[in-house]
Amino acid sequence: MIRDIYAYRCRKCGRLHYPFRMVCKECRQNDFFDFDLVPLPKTGKLLTFTKVYNLPAEFEVPTLGLGIVELENGLRITGQLEVDDPRIGMAVRGEVKPVRKSAYDTFYGMVFRAG
Amino acid sequence: MRDVYVGGIGITTFTRLEYPLSEIAAYPAMMALKDAGIRDVDHLYVANMGSARVNHQTALASAVVDSLSLTPAGAAVIENGPASGASALKAGFAAVASGLHDVVLVSGAERMREVNNLEATDFVATLTHPLAEYIYGVTLPSHAAMFTRLYMEKYGLTERHLAMVAVKNQNNAMLNEFAHLHQPITIEGILDSPEAMTNNPYVAEPLRFFDACPVSDGGAAVILVSDDVAKTIDRPLIRLAGVGQATDTHAVHEREEPTDLLAVRRAAAQSFEMAGLRPEDVDVAELHDAFTILEIVESEEVGFFPKGEGHVALEKGETAIDGSLPINPSGGLKGKGHPVGATGVAQAHEIVTQLRGEAGDRQVDGPQVGFTCNFGGFGNNVVCLTFVREGR
């Protein structure tokens, strides 16, 4: 099964959104599910980041990198960061991978590396 | 709209409390009833965020109203994340201002230390966007950390400024008998000495342990009354003069300017407009410093200082208890503690105490106008209140 993350383009005004919302923030004119799915670009630049030490118990790692990335088309996305020496503005490339496992489910999300 | 006054206030110590959650809500409510010298209320609002998840109890207001033997008065829980407290006060304000009720008791309570720290952090993290944030392991400390990094880059803020907020607020908390942390700290101990990295390790870079508020249990209560009832209560007259609330995008990354906290700016402006006052008129403020960075940024966004200059005012000592605009004399969330549902009510409790002139060793000099900012989510749901001391 191929898993991916999509942006949502308003059918009324064309504005892109991520994550999904019921009504476009720009024109606020949509009917139900009035959006087209658009693949998210996988490359962008790092806007800000952190390395977290106190994680929820489900994360069986000592630290976790997190960042907000501005993608090529200007949309932003929050994701995990696997970069040794992150810097604001650096180029990153994302991949959709499992990011969290609970007792019942595995959640897929964007994981960014340098590139 | 009718004028709305504060009839009475009450608070518990913020710490680890080995009492049932309903008692943590009922105890400060009893204090507030005693303070006001009244026995009857028309309605109870209980502000709480996590009873169902953390304490395995739902319908908390029904338990509290009966425990206080206030039945058949109406009762309901207001859950609005960390802004539950001020949101409940807003609901109480609306009820009294509209004429629906004359006496509304608002009690905020949280018992977070029933679970361990990791679970408490995860519980608060459930307020983040479930698919765009929570699944990645995003927590409130990580939001605050990513925000801080941008602020440092853009406005020249340093870890030293953050440490200065921690020192100021924990020292203020030393003067507050209800505060969670009674631990004096110094810049040397948490930043400059060789032991500082051990004393004060990173929680989420660039934020360290002493940049975050403790996980606390506690409750606070405020009784809101109409003009007619206020006249019968023999306490200094404090009016809740302004109520403002604003929201912002759920996912933090969707905000156009990531260093802005627009909901804080808008909620504060609304609150001041209703009160007919300006930020310059404020004599004492309680701002939502769940993380040290937030006190600095909120002090800018509510209009006390220009954008990017909050840390300069802090450096000059303007926000100290004896400064020109004391911020968080109670110790703030940082020093007093942050039982999430109680916090907004506890901020109001401190402002009323200050305006009454009853704050003891931490009393600000003769304040007439007080202000609170209760910050929900990571700035996506914010409630600001303006209080004014009148006449007697």
pLDDT tens digit sequence for A42-79: 999 999 999 999 888 888 899 999 999 999 999 999 99
Which ranges in chain B belong to alpha helices (H)? Answer: 21-36, 51-54, 60-67, 84-98, 117-125, 140-155, 159-173, 187, 196-199, 227-230, 262-275, 292-301, 310-315, 332-336, 340-356
A59 at interface of B, judged by CB pairs closer than 8 A: yes
**Domain ranges in chain B?**
4-116+215-230
Question: Each residue of B236-251: pLDDT tens digit?
Answer: 999 999 999 999 999 9
Position with higher pLDDT, A3 vs A113: A113
A60 three-state secondary structure: coil
Query: Considering chain A, what is the average pLDDT of its residues?
Result: 94
CA distance B72 to B391: 35
Q: Average pLDDT of chain B?
A: 97
Query: For the stretch B151-181, what's the b/e string if a residue is b when 16 or more beta carbons lie within 10 angstroms of its beta carbon?
Result: bbeebebebebbbbbbbbbbbbbbbbebbbb
Question: How far apart are the C-alpha atoms of B106 and B89, rounded to whole Å?
Answer: 6
Contacts of B194 (CB under 8 A, 6+ apart): none
Task: Check CB contact under 8 Å for A50 and B146.
Answer: yes
What angle in degrees, to the nearest 10, is found between the helix axes of B140-155 and B117-125?
Answer: 70
Query: Per the structure block, which two tokens stand in for A112?
Result: 């960014």
Closest approach of chain B CAs to the CA of A85, in angstroms? 13
- pLDDT over 90 percentage in chain B: 98
Q: Identify the pLDDT of residue B165.
A: 98
Cα B187 from chain centre? 25
Which candidate, A49, A48, A90, places its Cα nearest to that of B257? A48
Report the pLDDT value the prediction gives residue A57, as an integer from 0 to 100: 80
pLDDT at A1: 54
Stated length of chain A = 115
Task: Provide the pairing of β-strand B217-226 with B103-111.
Answer: antiparallel
Cβ pair B210, B160 in contact under 8 A = no
Residue B392's pLDDT is what?
A: 53
| Residue A57: closest C-alpha in chain B | B118
CB contact under 8 A, B204 and A80: no
Contact A52 B129 (CB under 8 A): no
Phi, psi of A65, deg, nearest 5: -90, 135
- Tokens representing B15 are 């710490």
Superfamily of domain B4-116+215-230 in the CATH hierarchy: Thiolase/Chalcone synthase (3.40.47.10)
Nearest-CA residue of chain A relative to B119?
A: A56
> Does any CB of chain A come closer than 8 Å to the CB of residue B153?
yes
Q: Is A36 on the interface with B (CB under 8 A)?
A: no
* DSSP 8-state symbol, B191: I
Q: Mean pLDDT throughout B224-236?
A: 97
Which DSSP category does B180 fall into? S
Average pLDDT over every residue of B258-285: 98
In the chain, the amino acid numbered B26 is A
Residue B227 has what pLDDT? Answer: 97
Alpha-carbon span B262 to B233, nearest angstrom = 38
Interface test with A, best of B136, B140, B198, B210 (most A CBs within 10 A): B136
Looking at per-residue pLDDT, the higher value among B252 and B121 belongs to B252
Please report residues of A whose CB lies closer than 8 A to that of B131: 19-20
B125 and chain A in contact, CB less than 8 A? yes
Distance CA B240, CA B325 (A): 20
Of A17, A66, A88, the CB nearest to B137: A66
Residue predicted with more confidence, B137 or A57: B137
Confidence check: pLDDT of B320 > 70: yes
Give Cα separations from B273 to A67, B89, B371, B375 (angstroms): 37, 18, 13, 19
Q: What is the pLDDT confidence band of residue B118, given thresholds at 50, 70 and 90?
A: confident
* % of chain A exceeding 70 in pLDDT: 98
Contacts of A57 in chain B (CB under 8 A): 118-119, 122
Q: What is the mean pLDDT of residues B139-155?
A: 97
The pLDDT tens digits of the residues spanning B30-57 come to: 999 999 999 999 999 999 999 999 999 9
| Nearest Cβ partner for A19 among B129, B150, B207 | B129
Question: According to the model, what pLDDT value does residue B287 have?
Answer: 98
Helix-then-strand count for chain A, H and E: 0, 8
Q: How far apart are CA A44 and CA A16, in angstroms?
A: 16
Q: How far is A29 from chain B (nearest CA, A)?
A: 18
Nearest by CB to residue A55, choosing from B135, B137, B251, is B137
d(CA B222, CA B333): 18
Q: Are B112 and B22 in contact (CB under 8 A)?
A: no
**Token representation of residue B133:** 């944030």
The DSSP result for B247-280, as a single string, is E--SSGGG-SSTT--HHHHHHHHHHHHHHT--GG
pLDDT band of residue A25 (cuts 50, 70, 90) is very high
Which of B125, B136, B251 is closest, CB to CB, to A109?
B136
Q: Do A64 and B137 touch (CB under 8 A)?
A: yes
B1 touches chain A (CB under 8 A): no
Q: What is the ipTM of this complex?
A: 0.96
